[in-house]
């Protein structure tokens, strides 16, 4: 009888050594099994054919993308899915938990963590932070997805609650790593991906999708540790990490083989990553070049925008180079001014004032009023703001959102200023000889400066999964 509760998805590339062992460990579960292969040239595909495993093919980029492709390729019909690597084996303890698993008994959660036992050259790495090691491997198919914000360490993410199976062991042992040359070559490739990933994070181009929480579930706990790892000085942190693993996490108890593993994985690999991060930093444009580039883009954009407004006003004003067609049909400045007057009038009427308006004036009965000339529209401030947003290196989506928010704020504050002037304005000079134009501009630049500072240091989150809860099943 087919398993109606969960299916298995496995990634493969030349896994004739490992795949039979894994398939044997889950055979009695009668679960649908899918393999996404990335170009195997050994007996992997024949093994899948003999075992009646459904196979699809996709060129390998990195593990997160490969898992994302796997979850989207196969038409999985069960409510839960288990994602495994070919060099992993389901232990008898985990097999018993899965055999007793019923979908209806777990409707309150979206994911389950398995406890991994990692082996190196036949030795169980029990210490140095490697056990217990909880990995989110089983999740509700309509909720879980691969974290594409990672380039090397893949992880699945679920939005809801999770559970940990502490005694359900997942055995991981890559027999190919018994040859040290394979291990070194493999981790050299991994170090490229990890260095690229961290370099992007240091530049603010990517962020973590998982909330960092020291006391949260394993994924959140790991995210918390990574957040502080990235802040440690390069080259110092491999020494600190290796020392911590060997002493506080008792790595020395894993014997000669275990200590070799901790040295390779905890020190050598991390040191290579740091060296490659530094190489990438050297390839970046010098910081002063970035500053000059920003300054040039900002000044040129401001001059263009400000000059464009002035030129357009000249073309729409009778006399000189006046163009009647622009004035009558494309005079956006006139529309802009009319909008300010109309908005101010609506606000005053809302508060019970009697208002009389023309195309360029507004008068409040028994109070003051104003004549709105073009220089009062704030095109200088708006040109400054738009030029800054254009010049600063941020993602387009972030720029558009901040630009829209800032322009609405500028016009909103201007309407409030006009409302105040219409009621209380007097012709005499204000504080220190400044009139309302000066005070408004000063206040507005301060407010915009605060907003821009927040925007500069606010991390931009990339939308990597448009709606992870709506997968096609």
pLDDT given at position 402: 87
Q: Using a pLDDT cut of 90, give the percent of the chain over it.
A: 48
- Convert the pLDDT of each residue in 236-292 to its tens digit: 899 889 999 999 999 999 999 999 999 999 999 999 999 999 888 877 665 555 667
**Given pLDDT bands bounded at 50, 70 and 90, which one contains residue 114?**
very high
Backbone φ, ψ for residue 68 (5° rounding): -60, -45
Residue 139 near residue 111, CB atoms below 8 Å = yes
Q: Above 80 in pLDDT, residue 461?
A: no
Query: Looking up tokens 């309302």, which residue turns up?
Result: 436
Q: Above 90 in pLDDT, residue 181?
A: yes
Q: Above 50 in pLDDT, residue 460?
A: no
**Given pLDDT bands bounded at 50, 70 and 90, which one contains residue 435?**
low
Distances (CA, A) of 461 to 152, 171, 285, 390, 398: 19, 35, 24, 19, 9
The pLDDT mean for the chain works out to: 86
- Convert the pLDDT of each residue in 311-352 to its tens digit: 888 888 887 778 888 888 888 888 888 999 999 999 999 989
| DSSP code at position 252 | G
Among 19, 233, 421, smallest CA distance to 10 is for: 19
Domains, the chain, ordered by start: 6-176 (3.90.550.10), 180-283 (no CATH), 332-457 (no CATH)
3-class secondary structure, 55: strand
| Mean pLDDT of the 386-395 span | 85
| Mean pLDDT of the 450-460 span | 67
Distances (CA, A) of 413 to 368, 370, 410, 419: 19, 16, 5, 10
Give DSSP secondary structure letters for 75-128: ---SSEEEEEETTEEE-HHHHHHHHT--GGGGTT-SEEEEEEEEEETTEE--ST
Question: Token pair for residue 286?
Answer: 């010098």
- Convert the pLDDT of each residue in 73-104 to its tens digit: 999 999 999 999 999 999 999 999 999 999 99
| DSSP code at position 284 | S
| Mean pLDDT of the 446-469 span | 57
pTM recorded for the entire structure:
0.61
Beta bridge partners of 89: 171
In this structure, the chain runs to a length of 473
Q: Above 60 in pLDDT, residue 470?
A: no
- Convert the pLDDT of each residue in 409-425 to its tens digit: 888 888 888 888 888 77
Q: Above 70 in pLDDT, residue 466?
A: no
């Amino acid at each position: 009888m087919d398993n109606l509760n969960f299916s298995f998805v496995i990634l493969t590339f030349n896994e004739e050594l490992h795949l039979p062992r894994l398939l044997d460990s889950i055979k009695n579960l009668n679960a649908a099994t899918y393999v996404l292969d990335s170009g195997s040239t050994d007996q992997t595909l024949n093994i899948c054919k003999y075992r009646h495993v459904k196979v699809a093919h996709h060129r390998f980029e990195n593990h997160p993308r490969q898992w994302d492709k796997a979850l989207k390729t196969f038409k999985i019909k069960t409510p839960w899915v288990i994602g495994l690597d070919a060099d992993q084996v389901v232990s008898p303890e985990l097999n018993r938990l899965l055999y007793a698993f019923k979908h209806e008994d777990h409707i309150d959660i979206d994911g389950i963590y398995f406890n991994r036992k990692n082996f190196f050259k036949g030795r169980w790495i029990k210490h140095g932070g490697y056990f217990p090691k909880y990995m989110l491997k089983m999740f509700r198919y309509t909720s879980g997805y691969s974290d594409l914000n990672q380039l090397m360490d893949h992880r699945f993410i679920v939005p809801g609650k999770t559970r940990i199976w502490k005694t359900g062991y997942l055995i991981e042992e890559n027999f190919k790593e018994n040859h040290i040359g394979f291990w070194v070559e493999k981790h050299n490739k991994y170090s490229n991906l990890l260095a690229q990933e961290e370099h992007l994070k240091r530049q603010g181009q990517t962020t973590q999708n998982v909330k960092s929480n020291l006391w949260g579930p394993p994924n959140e706990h790991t995210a918390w540790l990574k957040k502080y790892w990235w802040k440690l000085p390069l080259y110092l942190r491999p020494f600190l990490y290796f020392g911590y693993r060997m002493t506080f996490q008792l790595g020395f108890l894993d014997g000669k083989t275990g200590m070799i593993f901790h040295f390779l994985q905890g020190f050598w690999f991390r040191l290579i990553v740091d060296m490659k991060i530094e190489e990438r930093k050297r390839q970046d444009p010098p910081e002063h070049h970035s500053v000059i580039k920003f300054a040039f883009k900002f000044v040129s954009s401001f001059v263009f925008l400000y000059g464009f407004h002035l030129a357009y006003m000249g073309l729409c004003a009778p006399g000189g180079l006046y163009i009647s067609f622009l004035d009558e049909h494309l005079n956006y400045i006139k529309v802009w001014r009319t909008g300010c007057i109309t908005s101010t009038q609506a606000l005053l009427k809302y508060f019970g004032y009697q208002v009389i308006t023309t195309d360029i004036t507004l008068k409040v009965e028994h109070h003051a009023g104003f004549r709105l000339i073009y220089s009062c529209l704030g095109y200088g401030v708006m040109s400054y703001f738009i030029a800054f947003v254009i010049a600063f290196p941020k993602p387009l989506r972030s720029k558009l959102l901040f630009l829209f928010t800032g322009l609405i704020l500028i016009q909103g504050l201007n309407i409030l200023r006009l409302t105040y002037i219409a009621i209380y304005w007097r012709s005499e000079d204000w504080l220190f000889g400044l009139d309302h134009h000066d005070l408004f501009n000063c206040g507005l630049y301060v407010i915009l400066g605060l907003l821009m500072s927040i925007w500069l240091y606010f991390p931009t989150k990339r939308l990597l999964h448009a709606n992870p809860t709506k997968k096609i099943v």
